Amino acid sequence: MSDYHLEPEDAPDWSFSPEHDVRCPVCNATLSGLNWLLNTCGLVDCMALVPCGHELSVQEWELSFSGRLGGTRRYGNIIRKPEFKRKGS
């Protein structure tokens, strides 16, 4: 069974495929997803990373997607890879 299996009520707001190998920029832990943390106005304030628990401020960090667009699409190819990037860098 995969390490990423969670019950629906425990599943993160945003899930990452194990094949993407998304890592925490703070501790380099392999991530299975993130939860959005809202401020008092109901706007997204932070990303709480699952399972390490580090919180990334959306003022400082963004979830970016890299990889090829278009071209040939073969079964099993990873088209876009999510990663965390510090804004302004």
pLDDT digits (tens, 9 = 90+) for 7-55: 555 678 989 888 889 999 999 999 999 999 999 988 899 999 999 999 9
Q: Is residue 50 assigned to a domain?
A: yes
Q: Is residue 25 assigned to a domain?
A: yes
Give me the count of residues in the chain: 89
Q: Is residue 52 assigned to a domain?
A: yes
Phi, psi dihedrals of residue 64, rounded to the nearest 5°: -110, 160
Q: Is residue 68 assigned to a domain?
A: yes
Tokens representing residue 2 in the block: 């995969």
Domain carrying residue 50: 8-86
pTM value is 0.74
Three-state DSSP string of 47-87: EEEECCCCEEECCCEEEEEECCCCCCCCCCCCCCEEEEEEC
pLDDT of 3 strictly over 70: no
The reported pLDDT for the residue numbered 28 is 97
- Average pLDDT for 74-78: 57
Q: Is residue 2 assigned to a domain?
A: no
Q: Is residue 39 assigned to a domain?
A: yes
Report the number of distinct structural domains present in the chain: 1
